[in-house]
Amino acid sequence: MSVQKLENQIIIRNEKFIKTADQLKPKLNETIVKTASIVKMKADTDIIHGWKVETVAPGTFLADSEYGKNDSFVLDFGDHQVGYLSLKIRPAGSPPDAPLKLKLTMGEMPVEMAEPFENYSGWLSSSWLQEETIFVDVLPAVISLPRRYSFRYVKFDIIDTSPKYRVVFENVECRAVTSANISAVKKSLHQDEELQKIDEISIKTLADCMQDVFEDGPKRDRRLWLGDLRLQALANYETFGTNDLVKRCLYLFAGVPDNKGKVPANVFVAPQLIADDTYLFDYSLFFASTLHDYFYATSDIETLKELWPTAYRQIELAIERLDENNILKDTHDWWSFIDWQEGLNKQAPSQAVLIYSMKQAFRLAEELNVPEKDSLKAKLLEIVEATKIHLWDEEQHFFISGSDRQVSWASQIWMVLAGVLTQEENNKLMKRLLAENPAVCIATPYMYHHLIEALLVSGEKELAIAEMKIYWGGMIQDGADTFWELYDPKKRDFSPYGSHLINSYCHAWSCTPTYLIRKYQL
Amino acid sequence: MSVQKLENQIIIRNEKFIKTADQLKPKLNETIVKTASIVKMKADTDIIHGWKVETVAPGTFLADSEYGKNDSFVLDFGDHQVGYLSLKIRPAGSPPDAPLKLKLTMGEMPVEMAEPFENYSGWLSSSWLQEETIFVDVLPAVISLPRRYSFRYVKFDIIDTSPKYRVVFENVECRAVTSANISAVKKSLHQDEELQKIDEISIKTLADCMQDVFEDGPKRDRRLWLGDLRLQALANYETFGTNDLVKRCLYLFAGVPDNKGKVPANVFVAPQLIADDTYLFDYSLFFASTLHDYFYATSDIETLKELWPTAYRQIELAIERLDENNILKDTHDWWSFIDWQEGLNKQAPSQAVLIYSMKQAFRLAEELNVPEKDSLKAKLLEIVEATKIHLWDEEQHFFISGSDRQVSWASQIWMVLAGVLTQEENNKLMKRLLAENPAVCIATPYMYHHLIEALLVSGEKELAIAEMKIYWGGMIQDGADTFWELYDPKKRDFSPYGSHLINSYCHAWSCTPTYLIRKYQL
């Protein structure tokens, strides 16, 4: 993986849009969660990452235990939490004659408790690893850690007290936060227990990612990405209906386009709204897609009217990348996300994303009855036609991508979702894809979502459910409390970052099964 | 060294005294100190601890420098500081897409910058080593570290940013604090430059130890010890005249006697006033001594009247330890401080401290004209007589201590200060001490103070100055900005704690040269 760094990014701030976004800033709902139990991590090669959790004592045991220099223990909060930790510490023995030095390590997974962060050598910043070393000068004390963590487990390492005193942790609790309206979720009692469980964990995953904005991961990145927003919004409409948060996020993106009108792939919201210097072809188009989905979930015509120019502008800018044959230019200087699959050529899937988004944009143009609807339709037909001519390989019966005519899963999936072929052809294509299993596969839950949806829209409900169970059901079997950023059922320890310590184990783009289950009534 | 831990300590709180002490809590004077320069530590075996300081750039250079992962630099604040650090940090490059992880190490001496704390294996708590690892989630940021540090140098280790951004430290400053009234010090322009410098550094040492109470060391321990208070008070009368702080400290001790009326050797003042479970024979007696000195510095008869019973009670309790010959019982279960000299027997020097304190108590009893003055005088004469009979060795012409008849420096020094012999005999004794140099020497600046004062009261001013220059002048030559907890001119690297990293390099009991210089007009 590499990163974009722009030297000459010019942002044209739309203060009206930014103000609208600010006014929609949600109030967070808080829940106090107590320690469930004291646990220990035990090496076990059968378990993912090699670590099993064993219960040592109930959480209430803590207040009766004294700890001194070099003592260590792990607390289990029973489920994934996103929030703020506080601890009440009292001294035992003589009056404390030296500060307490305490190291806390917060982790979503047992491996984060069992393997020392000091050994981390991945290429993402080690600053994402959740730990704090605190000095407490005066005891007893109530320590409220100011940073927010994403965790189920907390490891306590008592680095030092003094020979004269020990410490007792009387109360350790988490003030969990989310902007999701949990009570709005319709109870679903699925006959299929596995799908029921997948639905529940999807909803938990989404809730934990819903904060001031839809974050991509509450542990790592913690910011608003457009591609992830689109999926979170879809899951939200089927569950929490916290639709103002989607609206807020759309206004945030619309608030900081560049001087060509392009919206960034992601934004930061602190210390104020900042557009990242990363632009992705597909993500920009998803502004139109997300606005489309938002409008059909809410019928909020005012927002549609106000944000339509931003959405349409993304389509216009994408069309500028087409060559004389109406096919996307595949140069080395463009960025489209699609998936993290090694070696994936982005041309054909991006072409499909363009078609997919243009269809949605056209529908919005019809709703608004804006003059550009006709040119949009005309251009769309041209592009679809060109795609069938230039990107469909009649011999292989697959869409091909790039100058090497790569046959990838992503190309077929996105072409199905874009509806380039007929329903019948789509169905055949998806079955052919699964049967022939081209080498350039898919890597992320984000792309697995699109695989499942492509199976569903091409009429392969049973195959869709089966794939969902292998993938998200596999995560559950491997101990997921919330769905993960990355998962490969065949290579469970894989991390693209060089360390599974830095992976996010609660990640927005994995939350979509609840959308798929509820929308398509699986 | 070992520590006292009492299981059944009963404290009788005197709320009236504690309230008086609370009302005298000082307002701290604040000074903003900017970074003087960027420095580096260079190995040099000729320098104490093996580290020399070299200037790299002026402090103003900092705001023009960008730092990324694994960068490190050291700031020099130009002189010893006690206070609070704040830093203004801004990002450079792309918007920060990961927290900043920054380690700060604060040190009084170059060795604390040069040698990693991770290797510390001394027996005092490592929690005293001044360091913080902070995570900054949002940049730019102004970070105000909540803990107080004692330092001249601050090492910055930029543990991680991200590949997309670096950081600039626009402003690093210290809000230095003291309760000393700096402006009250009479300028002394000593003809002897070395004594002038010793005087200045004594005053700086005292100022940096004067906070809510007279602390023993602003870096390590940070609490109020009675033996140290006595010396700090003496130095304060000659300089700042911040006499209410002495009064406050006397009331703190008087506020928490045990059920026999004994005052502890030290108290903690946070979260509220707590008597430590450490009692020292000599330190308890110094309550009377400190009250004596306070009264003659202030003529505050009301305080004298109110605290006299506490002072007198310490004398009574000390007298209880005398055997039938009026000599202190030298059992294995008593604690008297005197000095940290290895193998030092405490009997004779403690007997001398008793006589010294009783003489001061008697003078206070006369001022108050209380009935106990007569019995005090009678007992004092008995004890002095017994001391000459049982503890003076007529053959060696030295005071001896304990069953092994140990001849130590401490015994002679304290007997001189207690005025057991005549002025002429004292003079001979001190010269004999220096000439014969008994093996059981003295170890701490605390005991060196008493050596110098014993030389002065026995008429050896030139010898006193010479010794002062060797000891405190030696510290200055070895780079002291403030005087140290421990110094041995012959073994400069020595630490009784197993590591010179944990030594305190600004320590109350080393501040007395200003008292000696000014009081005795050296």
Q: Which of B3, B95, B137 sits opposite A147 (nearest CB)?
A: B137
Which residues on chain B place their C-beta less than 8 Å from a C-beta of chain A? 3, 5-6, 69, 93-101, 123-128, 132-133, 135, 137-141, 147, 159-164, 221, 223, 268, 270-271, 274-277
pTM: 0.97
- Mean pLDDT for A381-387 is 98
A149-158, pLDDT tens digit by residue? 999 999 999 9
Of A294, A263, A255, residue with least CA distance to A281: A263
Residue B496's pLDDT is 86
B315-342, pLDDT tens digit by residue? 999 999 999 999 999 998 899 999 999 9
Q: What backbone torsions phi and psi does residue B511 show, to the nearest 5 degrees?
A: -85, 0
pLDDT of A496 > 90? The answer is: no
- Mean pLDDT for B38-58 is 97
Of B485, B481, B477, residue with least CA distance to B448: B485
- Mean pLDDT for B69-76 is 98
Structure tokens at A397: 């019966």
On chain A, the residues whose CB falls within 8 A of the CB of B162 are 124-125, 127
Residue A3's pLDDT is 74
Helices and strands, number each (H, E), in chain A: 15, 14
Is A66 buried (19+), middle (13-18) or exposed (0-12) by CB count in 10 A?
A: middle
Cα→Cα distances B276→A42, B16, B253, Å:
42, 20, 10
Strand partners, A178: A29
- Mean pLDDT for B187-194 is 89
Query: To the nearest 10°, the Cα dihedral for A115, A116, A122, A123?
Result: 140
Residue A127 and residue B161: Cβ atoms within 8 Å?
yes
DSSP string, B9-69: --B---HHHHHHHHHTPPPPEEEEEE--EEEEEEE-TTSGGGEEEEEEEEGGGGGG--B-T
Residues 6+ apart with CB under 8 A from A151: A77, A80, A81, A106, A107, A108, A130, A174, A219
Residue B162 and residue A97: Cβ atoms within 8 Å?
no
Residues 6+ apart with CB under 8 A from B228: B214, B216, B446, B508, B509
Distance (Å) from the C-alpha of residue B37 to the closest C-alpha of chain A? 28
Residue A127 and residue B135: Cβ atoms within 8 Å?
yes
HSE of B505, CA atoms in CB hemisphere, 13 A: 33
HSE of A436, CA atoms in CB hemisphere, 13 A: 15
Structure tokens at B475: 């510290």
B129-171, pLDDT tens digit by residue? 999 999 999 999 999 999 999 999 999 999 999 999 999 999 9
- Going by pLDDT thresholds of 50, 70 and 90, the confidence category of residue B2 is low
On chain A, the residues whose CB falls within 8 A of the CB of B270 are 137-138
On chain B, the residues whose CB falls within 8 A of the CB of A133 are 132-133
Q: What backbone torsions phi and psi does residue B89 show, to the nearest 5 degrees?
A: -120, 135
Residue of B nearest to A99 (CA): B127
Q: Which of A138, A147, A160 sits opposite B127 (nearest CB)?
A: A160
List, in sequence order, the alpha helices (H) in A214-368. 226-238, 243-255, 281-298, 301-319, 347-368
Query: To the nearest 10°, the Cα dihedral for B130, B133, B138, B141?
Result: 20
Strands (E), B111-265: 131-136, 141-144, 149-160, 165-178, 224-225
Give chain B's mean pLDDT. Answer: 97
Answer whether A511's CB lies under 8 Å from A235's CB: yes
- Mean pLDDT for A496-507 is 94
List, in sequence order, the alpha helices (H) in A75-145. 110-114
Q: Which residue has the higher pLDDT, A426 or A188?
A: A426
Distance (Å) from the C-alpha of residue B349 to the closest C-alpha of chain A? 27
- Going by pLDDT thresholds of 50, 70 and 90, the confidence category of residue A492 is confident
Structure tokens at B23: 């009302």
Q: Rounded to whole angstroms, how far apart are CA atoms B511 and B472?
A: 10
Give chain A's mean pLDDT. Answer: 97
Residue A93 and residue B5: Cβ atoms within 8 Å?
yes
Burial B292-308 (b: 16+ CB within 10 A, else e): bbbbebbebeebbebbb
What is the maximal distance between C-alpha atoms in chain A?
A: 84
Residue A5's pLDDT is 81
Structure tokens at A360: 């949605």
Answer whether A317's CB lies under 8 Å from A284's CB: yes
Q: Rounded to whole angstroms, how far apart are CA atoms B86 and B83?
A: 10
- Mean pLDDT for A326-339 is 95
Sign of torsion over alpha carbons B297, B300, B303, B309:
positive
- Going by pLDDT thresholds of 50, 70 and 90, the confidence category of residue A181 is very high
Of A283, A249, A294, A231, residue with least CA distance to A514: A231
pLDDT of A386 > 70? The answer is: yes
Residue B3 and residue A163: Cβ atoms within 8 Å?
yes
Residues 6+ apart with CB under 8 A from B263: B226, B253, B254, B256, B257, B275, B284, B287, B310, B314
pLDDT of A399 > 60? The answer is: yes
Residue A140 and residue B271: Cβ atoms within 8 Å?
yes
Angle at B48 between CA B44 and CA B52, to 5 degrees: 40
Residue B274 and residue A221: Cβ atoms within 8 Å?
no
Strand partners, A393: A398
pLDDT of A13 > 90? The answer is: yes
Distance (Å) from the C-alpha of residue B268 to the closest C-alpha of chain A? 8
Of B129, B99, B97, B93, residue with least CA distance to B111: B129
Q: Please give the DSSP secondary-structure letter assigned to residue B328.
A: B
Q: Rounded to whole angstroms, how far apart are CA atoms A157 and B64?
A: 39
Structure tokens at A147: 């940073």
Burial B155-173 (b: 16+ CB within 10 A, else e): bbbbbbbbbbbbbbbeebb
pLDDT of B424 > 60? The answer is: yes
Residue B270 and residue A162: Cβ atoms within 8 Å?
no
User: H or E stretch including A102?
Assistant: strand A100-107
Answer whether A220's CB lies under 8 Å from A128's CB: yes
Q: Rounded to whole angstroms, how far apart are CA atoms B143 and B173?
A: 11
Residue B368's pLDDT is 98
Residue A159 and residue B133: Cβ atoms within 8 Å?
no
Residue A161 and residue B127: Cβ atoms within 8 Å?
yes
- Mean pLDDT for A224-232 is 98
pLDDT of B189 > 90? The answer is: no
**Among the ranges given (A19-28, A62-71, B484-493), the one the predictor scored with the smallest mean pLDDT:** B484-493
pLDDT of A1 > 60? The answer is: no
Answer whether A507's CB lies under 8 Å from A217's CB: yes
Cis peptide leading into residue A271 (ω within 30°): yes
On chain A, the residues whose CB falls within 8 A of the CB of B275 are 95
Cα→Cα distances B48→B122, B176, B502, Å:
19, 26, 15
Distance (Å) from the C-alpha of residue A127 to the closest C-alpha of chain B? 5
Percent of chain A at pLDDT above 70?
A: 100
pLDDT of A2 > 70? The answer is: no
Structure tokens at B172: 């690093």
Residue B101's pLDDT is 98
Cα→Cα distances A95→A3, A100, A134, A453, Å:
53, 12, 19, 63
- Mean pLDDT for A309-335 is 96
Query: To the nearest 10°, the Cα dihedral for B452, B455, B456, B462?
Result: -90
B97-136, pLDDT tens digit by residue? 999 999 999 999 999 999 999 999 998 999 999 999 999 9
Percent of chain A at pLDDT above 90?
A: 95
Q: Rounded to whole angstroms, how far apart are CA atoms B164 and A127?
A: 13
Predicted complex ipTM: 0.97
User: H or E stretch including B373?
Assistant: helix B372-390
- Mean pLDDT for A419-443 is 97
Answer whether B174's CB lies under 8 Å from B27's CB: no
A87-114, pLDDT tens digit by residue? 999 999 999 999 999 999 999 999 999 9
Structure tokens at A36: 């469930």
Of A284, A396, A403, A423, residue with least CA distance to A350: A284
Sign of torsion over alpha carbons B311, B316, B321, B325:
positive
Q: Which of A3, A162, A270 sits opposite B125 (nearest CB)?
A: A162
Structure tokens at B294: 């306070």
pLDDT of B1 > 80? The answer is: no
Residue A50's pLDDT is 96
On chain A, the residues whose CB falls within 8 A of the CB of B121 are none
Q: Rounded to whole angstroms, how far apart are CA atoms B353 and B338?
A: 9
User: H or E stretch including A84?
Assistant: strand A72-93
- Mean pLDDT for A478-498 is 92
- Going by pLDDT thresholds of 50, 70 and 90, the confidence category of residue A188 is confident
Is B386 buried (19+), middle (13-18) or exposed (0-12) by CB count in 10 A?
A: middle
Helices and strands, number each (H, E), in chain B: 15, 14
- Going by pLDDT thresholds of 50, 70 and 90, the confidence category of residue A7 is confident
Residue B99 and residue A6: Cβ atoms within 8 Å?
no
Q: Which of B125, B139, B163 sits opposite A3 (nearest CB)?
A: B163
